[in-house]
A and B are shown apart, each in its own frame.
Chain A
Amino acid sequence: MTPELFFQYLFAGITYGIMYAIVAIGFNIIYNTTGIINFAQGEFVMLGGMISISLLQFMPLPLAVVCAVIITMLVGALIEMIFIRWLDNPSVLRLIIITIGLSILMREVALHIWDESIRSLPYFYGNEITTIGIGPVRISPQVLWVIGVCGVVVIGLSLFFKITPLGREMRACSANRTAAILCGINTRNMVTFSFMLSAGIGALAGCVMSPITYTQYDSGTALAIKGFTVAILGGLGNSMGAVAAGLLLGILEAYSVAVVPLAFQDAISIAILLIILFVRPHGLFGSSEAARLTEF
């Protein structure tokens, strides 16, 4: 393999990995406060993209993205309040089935609103063929946008959870719900907040990724599967772990193209997911103790 090709695969891998990671972070937020996996996370990504594309006709791009994120956050809050909030001590299995149902529902609604054609936001900088040369390889400037947004989200989240009172209350809710209630924290509100937060991050991811991947009513599913794999791989609830695991999986996928036919790319990532679930169910970067404390 020539050095040039080596770096080309590397950058392709980073592109994939960062996209998976930003979806995985959305999974982690809801997991952290509720202990459940929200299988409708991919649909938040799709909604963000679709809403911003529709809004673009009426407003400039940055405003459309901001509005799309806010609207998706409201959708997230609404969904939590209608379908999850009133449940009295629901089992994990029940919640998971509810989120799977929600993902199907959102997909069908999107099909009726936006039909089945593919859409995308324009490139934030340049157009479809603009590239930036980094050493011997050339990448689309949009990839840098995705990396930048992912970085800001990861740093912003860790600050939010460490410093702000709201972030601490959400963490308390995840560590021990009963104790959190005893401390006067409204845990139900925390769950709503977590849905809003992850919907917002999903929507933001959907906007920055849209020029690269396109947005279609069912594009959330494939992203959710990869995002879920990465969330497990990095250790559920661990945002930094998600980034590392995302990059690892993306780079592995990119290099796998060099040796095995492309059709096996997805088989490889699913095989990795299975191996991790058997060997290290708490993920590469998660602690086994923390995993034991949760409801799984």
Chain B
Amino acid sequence: MKGVLKKIVWGTAAVCLLAAPAVQAENIKIGAIFAVTGGASFLGGPEARSAEMVVEEINKAGGINGNTLELIIKDSGANPEKAISFAKQLIEEDKVLAIIGPSTSGETMKLKKIAEQGKTPLISCGAAEVIVNPVAKYVFKTPQKDSFAVKKIYGEMKKLGMTKIAVVAGNTGFGKAGKAQLLKAAPEFGIEVVAAETYDKKATDLTALVAKLMANKDIQAVVNWSIVPAQAIIAKNMRQAGWDVPLFQSHGFGNIKYVEAAGAAAEGIIFPAGRLLIAESLPDSNPQKALLLKYTNDYEGKYKEAASTFGGHGYDAITILATAIGNGGTDRDKLRDAIENIKNLPGTGGVFSFSAEDHNGLDIESFVMLTVKDGKFVAYEGK
């Protein structure tokens, strides 16, 4: 027994010695906090996998200016407390150059102050506008702002001549923030929200809610702001009740799995999303097209699952960071300035142009309206 133990100790020591030279080579540490498990794993899982894929690719190509990247991924499980302790650990102990993530807006808001105090650039994958408004010096984000999604939907409704709508939302942070944005922006577009309801995120059937809304003959369209499974259930219950007003969903519908879940009821759902889902049908002149196709092929080839816009947010975060490291080097403050100076960088969410006032870098045109036709996403072309 003793002999075995001795061997293990010596063996470990030998391995450490062998591994040591590799550590000494120039290595840039990057922290990543994603909700790989838990309620937001549909975001964090693809984000973490996309970031890993990009880092692997960069290192294989010889790194950035000869320096390899080391990605330290922490799984927060969408828990803000965990995200906070991981952020502190990454900044103080691992001394990372920058952090990408977290996946959700709630976690990001808790990390804003920590990133500022630690003077560490943070590139979040959370959607809420409050992350970058007001601007915090070291905090950036890659997904399109949720207010853009709302405005894009209302813009489309205005084109269709709709003025009276119903808003329904799940009682998650995402649902509540979306509902608030929808109610706030409606008057700007001359739209009246005649009914607004919140349902439990675990609701299994919404037939009664649909019956209530259906009785109001004024309603010309329904906007639903939630995640699965409710976003499929509302679609089914509306169609089962024989109610055929248009159903708009949030940008959270951007995963083909959700279309499969809603089956025939998903047909005709209209929602805003980045161009990732319709990459093939984009004109060749589009600056994003080549990148979107490459990302989709690489991701689907490597992980054997459909690429989603959510994974794209992780891809964008690491790509922006890598570009900035290439331009600004490995000093945290210079890196921060380099991110702000990025202009016209194509990503999966849109073409990023950052500035001192805009830490999102995307405009409303980064969203397009999509619809579901024959079980596939296609660009929505009006009536």
Partners in one complex: yes
14 residue pairs A–B, Cβ–Cβ below 8 Å: A116-B37, A116-B41, A116-B42, A117-B42, A128-B263, A128-B264, A140-B236, A222-B202, A254-B207, A257-B209, A258-B212, A262-B198, A262-B199, A265-B200
| Interface 9-residue window, one of B132-140, B227-235, B342-350 | B227-235
Interface residues of B, Cβ cutoff 8 Å to A:
37, 39, 41-42, 171, 197-200, 202, 204-205, 207-209, 211-212, 214-215, 228-229, 232-233, 235-236, 239-242, 257, 261-266
A19 partner, pick from B202, B204, B233, beta carbons under 8 A: B204
Given A138-B241, A262-B197, A212 contacting B261 (CB threshold 8 A): no
B205 partner, pick from A8, A12, A122, A127, beta carbons under 8 A: A12
Is A120's CB under 8 angstroms from B261's CB? yes
CA distance A2 to B358 in the complex (A): 52
A12 partner, pick from B211, B264, B266, beta carbons under 8 A: B211
Q: Tally A residues with Cβ within 8 Å of B.
A: 43
Is B241's CB under 8 angstroms from A8's CB? yes
Is B197's CB under 8 angstroms from A5's CB? no
Select the residue from B204, B257, B266 with max chain A CB neighbours within 10 A.
B204
Residues of B within 8 A of A38 (CB): none
Is B233's CB under 8 angstroms from A214's CB? yes
Chain A, residue nearest B257 (CB): A117
Given A5-B215, A129-B265, A214-B233, A15 contacting B205 (CB threshold 8 A): yes
Q: How far is the CB of A129 from chain B (nearest CB, A)?
A: 4
* A276 interfacial by beta-carbon distance below 8 Å: no
Is A118's CB under 8 angstroms from B228's CB? yes
Residues of B within 8 A of A13 (CB): 208
Given A222-B202, A222-B204, A128 contacting B239 (CB threshold 8 A): yes
Chain A, residue nearest B238 (CB): A129
Chain B, residue nearest A6 (CB): B211
Select the residue from B37, B215, B240 with max chain A CB neighbours within 10 A.
B240
Q: How far is the CB of B226 from chain A (nearest CB, A)?
A: 12
* A232 interfacial by beta-carbon distance below 8 Å: no
CA distance A130 to B240 in the complex (A): 6
Chain B, residue nearest A221 (CB): B202
* A288 interfacial by beta-carbon distance below 8 Å: no
* A100 interfacial by beta-carbon distance below 8 Å: no
CA distance A7 to B189 in the complex (A): 36
Given A120-B261, A128-B239, A261-B198, A12 contacting B229 (CB threshold 8 A): no
Is A262's CB under 8 angstroms from B209's CB? yes
Residues of B within 8 A of A131 (CB): 240-242
**Smallest CB-CB A-B distances: 7 pairs:** A213-B204, A12-B207, A8-B211, A128-B263, A128-B265, A12-B208, A129-B239
Is B199's CB under 8 angstroms from A129's CB? no
Given A118-B228, A258-B212, A262-B197, A214 contacting B240 (CB threshold 8 A): no
